[in-house]
Amino acid sequence: MRGQIGSFYKLFYTLDIFTSYWIDYGVEKAWGSRLVARQWQIPIGVQLLPAGLLGLGMFTLKESVRWLTAEGRHEEAWRSLQWIRADSSAATETEMEEIRAGAEQESREREGFSFKELYAPWSHLKRVITAVAIFTAQQATGATAIAYFGPQYFKLLIGNDQTRSLLLTGIFGAVKVAACGTFVFFVAENINRKQILIWGAAFMAVCQITTAAVVTDVPRPASGDITSGGIATVALIYLFVIAYNFSWGPLPWPFVSEIFPTRIREPGIAIGVSSQWLFNFVFSVATPYMITNLGW
């Protein structure tokens, strides 16, 4: 179930982005240009609620059963598992024994680990490079840039209509959730990982190249105008994000966790995910300048 459960990270990520888009749209519809400050104060303020619930909720959680077991704190681990399962039956005891056996095996395999092992032998270094490349490529698809700067992108396509660009961004978010949810529940464990990444990248490339071609050929519409070129480019972006959420969106998370042996899995995944957030930052900083200066 690793592919499916690992992809849940991306599903909830897209669900939260979807929620934020519609909050932005609702604020724009409610106050528009009358109270401009509200348009950023309310969306940012709303974020304090889930953040506060998360922070306070952490005080009610038990420590990880597997971590306690690895640390030799077996009584605490057993109480934690009972709390998670709300049960102390024979099935829970069997699960506890499986966790202990797994933790002991992992401890033996990681004994004497050194970070030098990440780049020697070559097989380990190749895995680390693959993890970094997969997450860097995920950001290089442009999906994160579109997610962060959706309204600015749609303004380039439909004209300077703030309400309509936020509406299109909200629909964009709904498409993301539907596509990612379909992938997680029905596709994640049924299709070859490598083939999904290859065909997803190819389909996204076709959508983006076609979008660029249409935008260069069709003049930017005036505010409020709807043109066939604008409809076509919006549709292409929606198709692009469907392909992304069937491939490069959710899949790198379980994929990277599966390519490392137990001995180097934790630091290997950490390096891969660090590259994901590094290039997330790079493209987030660069995108506004690209929108302003590149045009099509």
pTM, two decimal places = 0.82
The arithmetic mean of pLDDT across residues 246-259, rounded, is: 89
* Mean pLDDT, rounded, of the chain: 87
Q: Is the per-residue pLDDT at 51 higher than 70?
A: yes
The arithmetic mean of pLDDT across residues 137-149, rounded, is: 89
CB 178 within 8 A of CB 167: no
d(CA 65, CA 11): 25
The arithmetic mean of pLDDT across residues 214-240, rounded, is: 76
Q: What local confidence, expressed as pLDDT, does residue 224 receive?
A: 57
Q: What local confidence, expressed as pLDDT, does residue 77 receive?
A: 95
Buried-exposed string 153-180: b where 16+ CB fall within 10 A, e elsewhere: bbbbbbbebbebbbbbbbbbbebbbebb
DSSP for residue 262: G
The arithmetic mean of pLDDT across residues 215-241, rounded, is: 77
Count the neighbouring beta carbons within 10 Å of the beta carbon of residue 266. 13
The arithmetic mean of pLDDT across residues 176-197, rounded, is: 87
Q: How confident is the model at residue 219 (pLDDT cuts 50, 70, 90)?
A: low
Q: How confident is the model at residue 214 (pLDDT cuts 50, 70, 90)?
A: confident
Q: Is the per-residue pLDDT at 26 higher than 80?
A: yes
Q: What is the pLDDT of residues 59-109, one digit of tens each?
A: 999 999 999 999 999 999 999 999 999 988 999 999 999 999 999 998 888
Ordered by where they begin, the domains of the chain are 2-61+112-294 (1.20.1250.20)
Q: What is the pLDDT of residues 97-133, one digit of tens each?
A: 999 999 999 888 888 888 888 888 888 899 999 999 9
Q: How confident is the model at residue 140 (pLDDT cuts 50, 70, 90)?
A: very high
Q: Is the per-residue pLDDT at 225 higher than 80?
A: no
CB 125 within 8 A of CB 116: no
Q: Is the per-residue pLDDT at 157 higher than 80?
A: no
CA 234 to each of CA 21, 55, 104, 153, 159: distance values in angstroms, whole numbers, following the listed order: 16, 38, 53, 10, 12
Q: Identify the sign of the CA torsion 98, 101, 105, 108.
A: positive
Of all residues in the chain, the percent with pLDDT exceeding 90 is 42
SS in 3 state form for 114-147? CHHHHCCCHHHHHHHHHHHHHHHHHHHCCHHHHH
CB 279 within 8 A of CB 139: yes
Question: Chain centroid to CA 130: how far?
Answer: 18
End-to-end CA distance of the chain: 42
Q: Is the per-residue pLDDT at 203 higher than 80?
A: yes
d(CA 131, CA 159): 40
Beta strands in 87-202 (DSSP E): none
Q: Is the per-residue pLDDT at 223 higher than 60?
A: no
Q: How confident is the model at residue 145 (pLDDT cuts 50, 70, 90)?
A: confident
Q: Which of 30-39, 46-55, 253-262 has the lowest mean pLDDT?
A: 30-39
